[in-house]
Amino acid sequence: MSDVLTILLAGGKGTRLEPLTRDRAKPAVPFAGMYRIVDFALSNCINSRLFNILVLTQYKSLSLEHHVTQGWSRFFHPEFRQSLTIAPPQQRVTEDWYLGTANAVYQNLYSVERSGAEYVLVLAADHVYKMDYRRLLTFHREHGGPATMATLRVPLAEAAGQFGVVEVDPDARVTGFQEKPEVPTPVPGDNENCLASLGIYVFTARFLIDELRKNAECADPGHDFGHHILPQIMGREPIRAFTFSGRGTGAHGYWRDVGTVDAYYQANMDLLADPPGLDLYDRTWPIYSFQPGSPPPRVAVVPEPPDRPSTGARHNIFANGAVSAGWVRGSVIGFDCRIGAGAVVEDSILFDRVMVGPGAEVRRAILDKGVQVLPGGRVGCDADEDRSRGFGVSEGGVTCVAKDTIVNGPT
């Protein structure tokens, strides 16, 4: 894999994840108690033996850059010609910030050329999945075209209005792209499914460099791969679609775009299913991250509250340093959280250093880092009450409380 440069696009605003992205980039949002979203793409790179990575950052990138530097530099050894480079907008070619996925790469063509890579793998840093990129790269080399798009087979009803859909012929050659169509085009020979674009691309480096330069010379250059660059190439160059299956990672083809509060919440809840949607405990394809030196979690076994309907066993995730004396069910608990005696936390996600006081209730909610729910306080129990206190409530009814908020108890 030494002839591959990986470009990790990590500069999006993440406005649909507010308030979780109020002070951090979307790829830096905590996930599964012990990780950040960016850890999944980076772990896929490590497991695929890809050790030349350019991370393009932009908005509110401080915590993301700190996490990548602190948690990931240990995997890369310059003496073996390995590199992990963080690149905010350099303004080498224009005075603009990154204007889109293609423009971000265009502004870093100096680094692409300097790398000497034969192939360029372009990834988004805000998706949750396990993927062996070597299979994608092998597919690209074998078909011999200048570009390959990674896709996922998705039922038509699920894709409608939700995914960008790639149209292909029977030979997997890309013939068109539909942006979140209400009536997706099915896969040839399979009227039940379509191919959703994953925002993952492989390019032959020389072709990519030339194409981006030609595009920049246009009167109205396009700035995005999916919307502009690839549609311009279709028809005159053979672009193929690679169908992601999860092979090589010990898992099925699980992939989630966690760009909205509801999608982010559901992806965390998928980890608690039996079996989990994405198995973090399968050592076939480990997920790495920076792990602070916290003690192991300490969780009390408490009886179920008398007013709760019994639904059988439910899983929880506790990160290191968490101490719980309350009743917790179906929840993801981050580093160094505290849950007091008599508290109830159900179907919720707690970021690092959240405190839920004695007798407090948290239901179907996401509490950002440092939130304090004082004794007797309630979150997620009444949507109108939550909105009146300035908390966000998603379309799916998930309450989000911003970082360092203090939630008072009864007066």
13 is in an annotated binding site: no
164 is in an annotated binding site: yes
Amino acid at 396: G
Sign of the CA dihedral 289, 71, 13, 15? Answer: positive
What CA–CA distance (Å, rounded) separates 144 from 148? 10
Q: Decide: helix, strand or coil at residue 323.
A: strand
182 is in an annotated binding site: no
98 is in an annotated binding site: yes
What CA–CA distance (Å, rounded) separates 151 from 372? 42
Nearest to 124, CA basis, from 229, 259, 20, 216: 259
Beta-strand runs (E) in 288-370: 298-299, 317-318, 323-324, 327-329, 332-333, 338-339, 344-346, 349-350, 355-356, 361-363, 365-367
What CA–CA distance (Å, rounded) separates 119 from 82? 16
**What angle is formed at CA 129 by the lines to CA 151 and CA 78, rounded to 5 degrees?**
105
**Pair 41, 127: CB distance under 8 Å:** yes
**Pair 196, 177: CB distance under 8 Å:** no
- Cis link prior to 238 (omega < 30° from 0)? no
**Pair 270, 256: CB distance under 8 Å:** yes
What CA–CA distance (Å, rounded) separates 118 from 309? 59
Residues 6+ apart with CB under 8 A from 253: 152, 153, 244, 245, 246
180 is in an annotated binding site: yes
What CA–CA distance (Å, rounded) separates 175 from 137? 21
Q: Which amino acids are annotated as binding site for alpha-D-glucose 1-phosphate, given as ranges?
A: 98, 164, 179-180, 197
Q: Which amino acids are annotated as binding site, given as ranges?
A: 98, 164, 179-180, 197
